[in-house]
Amino acid sequence: MQVYLPIAEVSVNAFLLFGLGGLVGILSGMFGVGGGFLMTPLLFFIGIPPAVAVATEANQIVASSFSGVLAHFRRQTVDLKMGLVLLVGGLIGAAVGVVVFNYLKSLGQVDLLVRLCYVMFLGIVGGLMFIESLNAIRKSRKAGGAPVATRRQRSWVHALPFKMRFRTSGLYISVIPPIGVGILVGILAAIMGVGGGFIMVPAMIYILGMPTKVVVGTSLFQIIFVTAFTTLLHATTNFTVDIVLAVLLLVGGVVGAQIGTQIGLRMKAEQLRILLALMVLVVCGKLAMDLLLQPTELYTLGAPGGH
Amino acid sequence: MARWFLLTLVLMVPGLAASEEVVLGLSSDQVSITTSFDGDEILIFGAVKREEPIPTGPPLEVVITVAGPSDPITVWRKARKFGIWVNSDAVEVDLAPSFYAVASSGPLNSVLSNTEDLRYKITVDRAIRSVGAPSGIEDTMSFTDALIRIRENAGLYQNLENAVAVDQQTLFRTAIEMPANLTEGNYATRIFLTRDGQVISDYETVIDVRKVGLERWLFTLSRQQPLLYGLMSLAIAIAAGWGASAAFRLMRNG
């Protein structure tokens, strides 16, 4: 069934979009990532113009994150207080990110910079998580399956002022690191056109020391607001949100997110992390290959004034 | 799919010099882009009107072009720098049609002389206007060639030789396939009658390509009420997210 998208001005197969939405939705529910870093390149691949893909993806992430976060609310695995603190940083970061993005655009080569950003961050985050979770699994095997208590380490994070108690996460830490993480993720999210979950999740686990079960719900909670903000920005400045495309994607996406959340709750934290790490590394590898190998078509068409 | 079949026979005001003129028909002078739009085929047919007997000598040939709205476009070329492939050179093409089809009754180079092609800008190469190549790039041609190649592969540029059937040097017809990823606008349709490579008569009309119904409404809303449109998108997203969550809970509980 072909559907003509009014803003993207292309005709695509509706079932293909349902499928893509569902697949990314499952991952989103499982790992608490918006899935934008997977979906946006997939949309480029099926011929959606990049500007429309990025903007519409933000709208779709709102839907799948909302669907996912409701499931987490019921299980009380959302740290609202932490989410709000992260959100404050996130919105500041997003605003800064838009300014940075426009500055880079005026310099040219913004496309390349976005790609390099992807490769670098996906590589670092994926690699670190992979090694860490592999070690955790090994350790827990040695200890005969006993749970590992590694997260109560005292580090520089605990030495900062403005301490706040985050009951759901069982943390008593300064608000400076969460706000800092929020800002950093907000900047990257605006530049890379994603929700930023794949950076947020590891940052929450490794920098803030939050328990993995709470991390996913809290990350989704924060992503809803940042992507809603981004959607409105794109809709009012670039007119690139395609509502028909968004609806097709989110029908699959919201269902997928529910399934993903169920799967995620049944899996061990280490297994969850190692899977997310592997997925991040695969996407990173694909993007790196695109940069390193000679493309079959050396020429591309772009909108004028983009350099 | 509701499709409008409008048969429009337009008689041209008799010209002064031309003794052979085009009388044209289109299977439809309007292409409606609906939600289920998946491309369309336009039938272009017509007759040659003449007051005198058919002239002797080289036979009558017909060339038909359909051109979508033109836009400026930037063609980028990648080059290897520091081990990675990056966009390095760009050539700005001032105007390139978003869609362009040339159908002819014979091989183009035999039915149309080069000077006439240049004069009427009939082939794709001529229809693209490119002047502002930055200094330092010598092979500007390879950029426009790439533009044509990419759009030909996407079915947007079509070179249909021997695709116009001509009967008795009087009746002609051809079918032009419009791809699914059309842009809106007026598609200029031109018909040229040639003898011995010379254009003896030409005729121009317009095919109107428009979004209709829901497509039209959404497009207009997104341009004229962007904030409302954005909020509507968000509302739909939230509702869908909540709906799926509620449905799942019902399913699991009951």
pLDDT tens for B81-109 read: 888 887 778 788 888 888 999 999 988 88
CA-based nearest residue in chain B for residue A74: B249
Answer whether A26's CB lies under 8 Å from A255's CB. Answer: no
The 8 Å CB, 24+ separation contacts for B113-119 are B113/B197, B113/B198, B116/B194, B116/B197, B116/B198, B116/B199, B119/B199
Which residue of B184, B216, B226 is in closest CB contact with A236?
A: B226
- pLDDT-based confidence at B1, cuts 50/70/90? very low
In chain A, which residues have their Cβ closer than 8 Å to the Cβ of B244? 67, 254-255, 257-258
DSSP strand pairing (A171-174 vs A163-166): antiparallel
Q: How far is B119 from chain A (nearest CA, A)?
A: 27
Q: Tell me the residue type at A19.
A: G
Contact B76 A299 (CB under 8 A): yes
User: What's the rounded mean pLDDT across residues B67-93?
Assistant: 83
Cα B162–Cα B96–Cα B81 angle in degrees, nearest 5: 115
Q: Is A162 exposed, middle or buried (0-12, 13-18, 19+ CB in 10 A)?
A: exposed
Chain A to chain B, count of Cβ pairs less than 8 Å apart?
187
Contact A239 B84 (CB under 8 A): no
Beta strands in chain B (DSSP E): 20-26, 30-33, 40-50, 60-67, 70-81, 84-97, 100-104, 157-160, 165-167, 171-178, 185-195, 198-211
- If one compares B207 and A144, the residue with the highest pLDDT of the two is B207
Q: Read off the tokens for B151.
A: 């759009």
Rounded CA-CA distance A143/A270 in Å is 15
> Given a cut of 50, is residue B78 above it in pLDDT?
yes
CA-based nearest residue in chain A for residue B240: A63
Q: How far is A276 from chain B (nearest CA, A)?
A: 23
> Given a cut of 50, is residue B74 above it in pLDDT?
yes
Q: Read off the tokens for A218.
A: 């809290």
User: What's the rounded mean pLDDT across residues B198-214?
Assistant: 86
Q: How far is A96 from chain B (nearest CA, A)?
A: 21
Structure confidence at residue A156 (pLDDT): 63
Contact A64 B146 (CB under 8 A): no
Rounded CA-CA distance B214/A41 in Å is 28
Q: How far is B185 from chain A (nearest CA, A)?
A: 12
Torsion from C-alpha of B136, B148, A111, B225, nearest 10 degrees: 120
- If one compares B135 and A207, the residue with the highest pLDDT of the two is A207
Rounded CA-CA distance A76/B160 in Å is 65
Q: Read off the tokens for A260.
A: 């993903």
pLDDT, chain B, mean: 81
How far is the CA of A31 from the CAs of A27, A69, A162, B74, in angstroms? 6, 12, 30, 39
Q: Is A117 exposed, middle or buried (0-12, 13-18, 19+ CB in 10 A)?
A: middle
Answer whether A243's CB lies under 8 Å from A251's CB. Answer: no
Q: Read off the tokens for A219.
A: 């990350």
In chain B, which residues have their Cβ closer than 8 Å to the Cβ of A305? 74
User: What's the rounded mean pLDDT across residues B22-34?
Assistant: 79
Answer whether A269's CB lies under 8 Å from A213's CB. Answer: yes
Structure confidence at residue A260 (pLDDT): 84
How confident is the prediction along chain A (307 residues), in pLDDT tens digits per residue? 788 888 887 888 889 988 888 888 888 777 767 677 778 778 877 878 777 887 888 888 888 788 778 878 888 888 888 888 888 988 888 888 877 777 776 665 667 777 788 788 888 878 887 888 888 888 877 765 444 444 455 566 666 667 777 777 777 777 888 888 888 888 877 777 677 777 788 788 888 888 878 888 888 888 888 888 888 887 887 788 888 898 888 888 878 878 888 887 787 777 777 887 888 888 888 888 878 887 777 887 776 544 3
DSSP percent split of chain A into helix, strand, coil, nearest 5 = 70, 5, 25
User: What's the rounded mean pLDDT across residues B15-42?
Assistant: 75
Rounded CA-CA distance B108/B102 in Å is 9
Cα separation of the two ends of chain A: 38
Q: Read off the tokens for A256.
A: 């997928």
A94 closest CA partner among A272, A216, A253, A222? A222
Residue from B143, B216, B234 to probe the interface with A (highest A Cβ count within 10 Å): B234
- ipTM (interface pTM): 0.74
Interface contact B240, partner A, CB < 8 A: yes
Which residue of B77, B216, B236 is in closest CB contact with A299?
A: B77
Structure confidence at residue B100 (pLDDT): 92
Q: Tell me the residue type at B5.
A: F
- If one compares A239 and B66, the residue with the highest pLDDT of the two is B66
**Residue found by looking up tokens 């289920």 in the block:** B36
For B204, list phi and psi in degrees, rounded to 5. -130, 140
Structure confidence at residue B4 (pLDDT): 41
In chain B, which residues have their Cβ closer than 8 Å to the Cβ of A1? 36
Answer whether B191's CB lies under 8 Å from B49's CB. Answer: no
In chain A, which residues have their Cβ closer than 8 Å to the Cβ of B75? 299-302
Share of residues in chain B with pLDDT > 90 (%): 5
In chain A, which residues have their Cβ closer than 8 Å to the Cβ of B149? 299
* CB-CB neighbours of A142 under 10 Å: 10
**pTM score of the predicted model:** 0.72
* Radius of gyration of chain B measured on its C-alpha atoms: 24
Which of B:209-238 have CB within 8 Å of A?
211, 214-216, 218-219, 222-223, 226-227, 229-234, 236-238
DSSP strand pairing (B30-33 vs B171-178): unpaired
Instruction: List the alpha helices (DSSP H) in chain B.
Output: 108-111, 114-120, 124-127, 140-153, 213-224, 226-253
